[in-house]
Amino acid sequence: MSGEDVIKVSFIFPNGDRYEGEAFKSASGVMVRTGVGKQTTANWIIYTGEWLEDKMNGKGTLQYPSGVMYEGEFKDNMFHGMGTYTFQDGSNYKGQFLENRMEGEGAFTNTQGVVWTGEFHGKAALGLMMQHNV
């Protein structure tokens, strides 16, 4: 695939999902999302960002109707790398992700603005330290 093979497209999938952005036509004639684009599902989940070979890869934002949002790096349709996950109540986690899990150094900010930092391992986060603002 060369740069000139990428074209701007807009199409609707049979399940009602919509995609607007860059794609290329594969050797078999199938349009493959690659480049930058926006996909909106029939359930109003919106991904805006980079695609590679029909998967969310690179930097992007995934927004849910509930207010939940992830902004950061993706790999093969998963949160992977640095990112910020905002929960429905407004609290958020900013740090490292590994295959959709909070994994590694990060900071969790609760709804009162208190920041907890340390090592996160999925749902476990032993030894967190509260940041003090002086």
User: Position of tokens 């986060």?
Assistant: 125
- pLDDT value, residue 76: 98
CA distance 97 to 121: 9
- pLDDT value, residue 24: 93
pLDDT in tens, 33-61: 999 999 999 999 999 999 999 999 999 99
- pLDDT value, residue 47: 98
CA distance 58 to 75: 7
Confidence check: pLDDT of 133 > 80? no
- Apex CA 28: angle with CA 27 and CA 32, to 5°? 80
Of 40 and 3, more confident = 40
CA distance 116 to 82: 17
Domain ranges in the chain are 1-54, 66-134
pLDDT in tens, 70-91: 999 999 999 999 999 999 999 9
